[in-house]
Chain A
Amino acid sequence: MRPSLTYTEAELVQGLKARDEKVFSYLYDHYSPALYGVALKIVNDENMAIDALQEIFLKIWRSAERYDADKGRLFTWMLNIARNTAIDMLRSRAHKLDQKIRELGDGTVFLEKLTVQQSIDHLGLSKVLDQLNKEQRVIIDLAYYRGCTQDEIAKLLDIPLGTVKTRMRNAIIQLRNILKQV
């Protein structure tokens, strides 16, 4: 899904910093599916993901001066904004929801609504997901999409804290090998 660039990365950054609306449109057209996919996977609710996506793009627009090319590519920076925004939103709403559930009483069980959405490259995705083993898939998702800490992952997967980083490395190496075949 690499978009065919009509702008170089440096031009995009410059245009964004200069508040060029054409550059903004271009970024939206090329990256909104990826960023919306991240938001939707994190918040797992379409309306919340829509709110998150707008917030993400406005943050990109408004904090362009803070982008530092030495630290990584523009897409990496945008993904980090998307991920942090959606995780923050989920946490603040989960907190409110938690309070509501407590107000309703203990008998109520909150069932997570599963959003069924077809990804653009769903064949590629299912191929990758099929080849990752469950633990590898879970450790990547917990860290990237849930924002879990090492402690939390160690507890959730019932593994020693010291092995979380090596498991993560193995999962990503496996991911890399699969991606080469896709």
Chain B
Amino acid sequence: MNKVDVQRYISSGIIESYVVGLVSATEAREVENAMAEFPEIKAAVEACRQDMERYVQLHSIPPPKGIRKRLLEVIENEDSLEGEALLPEELREPEPDEAPAGPGFSWPAISPERMLQFALALAIVLLGISLFLNFRYASRYKIYKQKYDELVTVHQQATADNQLIQAKLQQAQGELTLLKNPAFTWTRLNGSGKHAGQFITVCWNPASHEAFVLAQGLPEPAAGQQYQLWALVNGKAVDAGVFETGQLSSSPQKVKAIAAAQMFMVTLEKKGGNDTPSWNQVFLSGRISS
């Protein structure tokens, strides 16, 4: 800047604007740099300031009396907590983290406001914990409920299985008792000719007339057909009932009571059996050993 430039700068209005606080921070730095470099500019700024300050001082009003005393109290006690408390909030030192260690133990002074803040913060924290636990226990409850339901189902299944097994056991025990009873006679009926190798066993109590069939060795009949047992007494065939083969043949099947017999015979009949045997369909026969 030469002399002319300096004059132009002074008369541009930037100085007055700077003094009344109208310029931006960048412009203010510019003016301050110019002041440092050019005494004329510094003098112009100073003159303008004095004008403004005289104008401002015309607005002087004595402040209310008590303020001076209060301010002096604050600055006299400014290193103590009491002095700090007198300050407007904006000017207080940040509160120390811990209460100063005094002789013995003493509670740090807590204002009611602070207390409320603590209480509120605590309440919020507790609410948060409660919500968290609610959520946790709710999901745990769900898991346990599910596990409980599963266990109930398993238990029911086990009970049902147990009942089935009990029933089977009773049946097996019944069969065992039957087979151990010396009153029963055992007769094996064998096939001959095209039925060679086929067989069943008939178990008969001549005293009680009870009769059972163990149909282990017969082929599965065609649909609509069933094997029928006959008791032969003096060459006459008496119906002793139909019986099943296949899966049901593994345990003794009760057939009709037989009052008397010298021989047994098995024929293949229509399902449900016939009143008289089909003599061309005789599969097996066996004499009762006495």
Contacts and interface: CB of A to CB of B under 8 A. Distances in A.
A119 B36 CA distance: 36
Given A58-B87, A83-B21, A119 B58 contact: yes
Interface in A95-132: 117-121, 124-125, 128
A128 B58 contact: yes
A168 B21 contact: no
B68 interface: yes
A164 B17 contact: yes
Query: Quick one: which of B36, B57, B67, B71 has the most chain A CB within 10 A?
Result: B57
B39 interface: no
A176 interface: yes
Interface in B68-125: 68, 70-72, 74-76, 87-88, 90-91
Interface stretch (B7-15, B145-153, B179-187, B227-235): B7-15
Nearest to B15: A169
B20 A140 contact: yes
A76 interface: yes
Nearest to B68: A28
Nearest to A28: B68
Interface string A4-42: 000000000000000101001100110011101110110
Contact of A71 (B32, B51, B58): B32
Contacts of A41: 59
Given A71-B32, A164-B17, A166-B13, A32 B49 contact: no
Main secondary structure of the interface of B (DSSP, over half): helix
B56 interface: yes
B52 interface: yes
Contact of B11 (A21, A72, A169): A169
Given A144-B20, A168-B17, A121 B61 contact: no
B48 interface: yes
A62 interface: yes
A21 B61 CA distance: 23
B54 interface: yes
B56 A38 contact: yes
23 contacts: A1-B57, A24-B72, A33-B60, A40-B59, A50-B63, A50-B67, A51-B88, A54-B70, A57-B71, A58-B74, A58-B91, A71-B32, A72-B49, A73-B49, A83-B21, A120-B62, A121-B57, A121-B58, A125-B58, A164-B22, A168-B22, A171-B16, A175-B55
Interface of B: 11-17, 19-23, 32, 36, 46-49, 51-64, 67-68, 70-72, 74-76, 87-88, 90-91
Given A24-B75, A32-B67, A54-B70, 16 more contacts: A19-B75, A32-B68, A33-B60, A33-B61, A33-B62, A54-B67, A58-B75, A73-B46, A79-B56, A147-B21, A165-B13, A165-B22, A169-B17, A172-B19, A179-B51, A179-B55
